[in-house]
Amino acid sequence: MDAMVDPAVDETHMAAAVELAWAGLGSVEPNPMVGCVIVRAGQVIGRGCHERFGEAHAEVNALHDCLQNGHDAKGATAYVTLEPCCHHGKTPPCADALIAAGLARVVIAVVDPFEQVSGGGVARLKDAGIEVDTGVAVELATNQLAAYLKRVRTGRPWVIAKWAMSMDGRIATATGQSQWITGESARREVHALRGRIDGIAVGMGTVLADDPLLTARPSGPRTLNRTLNRIVFAQTRVPPLDRQLVKTATKTPLWLIAGPLVRDADLAALSGHGARVIRCQNPDPIAMIDEALLRLGGRDNPGGTPLTNLMVEGGGRLLGSFAAAEQIDEAHVYIGSKLIGGQAAPGPVGDPGISQLNRSISLRVGSVDRFDDDVRIIYRKASQHR
């Protein structure tokens, strides 16, 4: 092990591990993105990340990289963005792999709140005589792990609100025309986002007005082979059987979040066409959202796999209900270069919304990007590490 511990050096190596972890975005869920860097005598001898769900974790890949590069990890320091697992899941415990490799020190950014880990990995490493430090670059890593951490701590997926609006804040003209407010480059970016999330939600108004397909059609060098769950919130009525969502339900999952006022016969007809149903007990839209998120984020949902990221695309009433429920964690706001005007032209977030300004959702600007003459602003909740 290195004779002296330099906090600045630890931060630098952990930042490199965080950067490695991003390669797993959209491929590892419901597992977390994790990166690992192994260092000896100031030299990086191994790098790895969790690349795909069900496959080797970051620590194992970094140890394998050491061997591939002709290095022995004995006596080295490992920088890991999330506490190494200590239980048998789809892969053996990573803590055991680090112990077997003879690591002298393990530096961890975030202690994993998952109940089967939750400090157990740290304890196992310490019991083996390995020096362990936690909380290094914790804010950087927590920001990256935000979606995973929310689901584990609250049982709900991370909610991304997305909308496109004109430069004066309209999502359509007064007559309802909305295609297209933004250009092709911005729309391609939306499909890239769809391609790496677990689910996309809309309300019945959008289904009836637009008859959307809600599939991901990403392009570019990193096109993920993911199945996007399409989710419709149906408070009192359900999609007609001739809608594209229903006709493709056997190929691409369609989930219906149904209120108690929806007729059983209508749900049975949709189930017969391949739709999965979550029947809510309370007709209030805010209560439906909370109940649905708990089901979607749990392993007892109709698909059997918890959703980590859920994007809400509209319409305005559904976005307004998510805002009122205080369940928007991130917003992707596309501002087109068009000017629409008109008091009757709708805005992106409708009723019920938030009635008191001091209860409004407050997010931070994460990034600002330009796509031709359109602009995207990504807002996110501040990282909360504990």
Q: Which residue has the tokens 């415990």?
A: 93
How far apart are the C-alpha atoms of 182 and 354, rounded to whole Å? Answer: 27
- 214 in a labelled binding site: yes
- 120 in a labelled binding site: no
- 320 in a labelled binding site: yes
- 317 in a labelled binding site: yes
- 178 in a labelled binding site: yes
- 318 in a labelled binding site: yes
Q: Does 59 participate in catalysis according to the annotation?
A: yes
How far apart are the C-alpha atoms of 109 and 136, rounded to whole Å? Answer: 5
- 180 in a labelled binding site: yes
Q: Which residue has the tokens 């914790």?
A: 138
- 316 in a labelled binding site: yes
- 217 in a labelled binding site: yes
Angle of helix 120-127 relative to helix 94-101, nearest 10 degrees, comes to 20
Residue type, 46: G
- 166 in a labelled binding site: no
Q: Which helix (H) or strand (E) holds 139?
A: helix 138-144
Q: Which of 59, 83, 189, 330 is catalytic?
A: 59
- The count of other CB atoms within 10 Å of the CB of residue 283 is 13
- 280 in a labelled binding site: no
Q: Is 75 helix (H, G, I), strand (E, B) or coil?
A: coil
- The count of other CB atoms within 10 Å of the CB of residue 143 is 17
Parallel, antiparallel, or unpaired: how do β-strands 105-110 and 77-82 relate?
Answer: parallel
Binding site membership for Zn(2+): which residues? 57, 85, 94
Which residues are part of a known binding site for NADP(+)?
164, 180, 210, 315-321
Query: Residues at the annotated binding site?
Result: 57, 85, 94, 164, 178, 180, 194, 206, 210, 214, 217, 313, 315-321
Known binding-site residues for substrate equal: 178, 194, 206, 214, 217, 313
Give the residue numbers marked as catalytic.
Answer: 59
